[in-house]
């Protein structure tokens, strides 16, 4: 059930089928010279909607903005602070609880470590407030850790590389503008840099040239299976 598309009576009827929901979180962030700024949000929202086509679950409208630290100086990146992200997500969770949702998967298409930490913190605060609510927090990269051997060719691929380019070739081929050179960031360990683009000039983490439509289709199918399994586990979880 895609929440933005259903009516009030349909939402009420849906609660008789499920008390589970997916909240997709994305970003407005550079993705090299070839992928759109909304890649993270497009990806995670399509993943959630595909999952909802296979089992009863509410899919919330996505959050388009996230905490973008490493890419903050690249053109087109528009981010929010961690505290604002945490507060906004916590408000949404509180409202969902009031509407009868008891199982929530908070899944992010943007996998930055600081961004994810604030999402986890919002979830932790929510389960301390609402003792009968169950929450899972993860990024799409967590679903891709165990992809079938031989599917991907780029070790360490993470951002605007083989994986995300393949997914966008499958989901939004008209949004993909050619490719970008293979690149990996070279940030110094532990040291916080003011000039982040110096260490990551083109905003690619991987090799976009290795992407194909077929890989994108297989990757999305793998993610859907993983998200379905997580929902089943969450609904049966007892703490």
Q: Please tell me the predicted confidence (pLDDT) of residue 149.
A: 87
Encoding tokens for residue 159? 């951002």
What pLDDT is attached to residue 215? 98
- State the alpha helices, DSSP H only, in the chain: 8-14, 39-52, 82-98, 113-129, 140-143, 162-171, 196-199, 213-235
4: DSSP letter: G
How far is Cα 106 from Cα 60, in angstroms, rounded to an integer?
10
Say yes or no to pLDDT of 47 above 90.
yes
Q: Residue 120 has which token pair?
A: 């986890």
Both structure tokens of 50: 């595909």
Q: Mean of the pLDDT values across residues 193-201?
A: 96
**H or E, element range at 139:** strand 134-139
- What is the pLDDT at residue 213? 98
3-state secondary structure of 206: strand
Q: Which domain holds residue 59?
A: 3-235
Cα separation of 206 and 32, whole Å? 10
pLDDT of residue 99: 98
* pTM reported for the whole predicted model: 0.97
**In this predicted structure, what is the pLDDT of residue 160?**
98
Q: Which of 83, 86, 92, 35 lies closest to 62 in space, CA to CA?
A: 92
Band of residue 6 on the pLDDT scale cut at 50, 70, 90: very high
Digit-coded pLDDT (tens) for 131-174: 999 999 999 999 999 999 899 999 999 999 999 999 999 999 99
pLDDT in tens, 15-41: 999 999 999 999 999 999 999 999 999
Confidence of residue 67 (pLDDT cuts 50, 70, 90): very high
Q: What is the dihedral of CA 35, 165, 180, 33, to 10 degrees?
A: 10
- The domain that contains 28 carries what CATH number? 3.40.50.10310
Domains identified in the chain, total number: 1
Task: Give the pLDDT score at 135.
Answer: 98
For the chain, give the percent of residues with pLDDT over 70.
100
Q: pLDDT by residue (tens digit) across 90-123? A: 999 999 999 999 999 999 999 999 999 999 999 9
State yes or no: pLDDT of 46 exceeds 90.
yes
Joined together, the tokens standing for residue 129 give 């407030």
Contact 88, 62 (CB under 8 A): no
Q: What is the pLDDT of residue 239?
A: 82
């Amino acid at each position: 059930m895609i929440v933005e598309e259903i009516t009030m009576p349909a939402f009420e009827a849906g609660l008789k089928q499920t008390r589970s929901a997916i909240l997709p979180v994305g970003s407005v962030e550079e993705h090299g010279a070839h992928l759109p700024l909304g890649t993270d949000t497009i990806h995670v929202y399509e993943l959630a909607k595909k999952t909802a086509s296979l089992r009863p679950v509410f899919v919330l409208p996505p959050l388009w903005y996230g905490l973008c630290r490493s890419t903050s100086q690249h053109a087109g990146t528009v981010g929010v602070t961690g505290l604002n992200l945490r507060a906004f997500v916590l408000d949404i969770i509180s409202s969902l609880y009031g509407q009868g949702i008891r199982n929530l998967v908070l899944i992010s298409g943007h996998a930055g470590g600081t961004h994810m930490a604030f999402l986890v913190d919002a979830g932790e605060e929510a389960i301390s407030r609402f003792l009968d609510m169950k929450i899972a927090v993860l990024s799409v990269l967590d679903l891709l850790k165990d992809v079938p051997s031989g599917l991907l060719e780029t070790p360490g691929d993470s951002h605007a590389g083989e994986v995300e380019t393949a997914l966008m070739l499958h989901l939004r081929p008209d949004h993909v503008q050619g490719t970008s050179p293979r690149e990996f960031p070279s940030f110094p360990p532990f040291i916080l840099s003011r000039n982040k683009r110096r260490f990551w000039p083109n905003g690619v983490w991987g090799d976009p040239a290795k992407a194909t439509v077929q890989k994108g289709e297989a990757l999305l199918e793998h993610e859907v299976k993983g998200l379905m399994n997580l929902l089943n586990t969450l609904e049966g979880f007892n703490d």
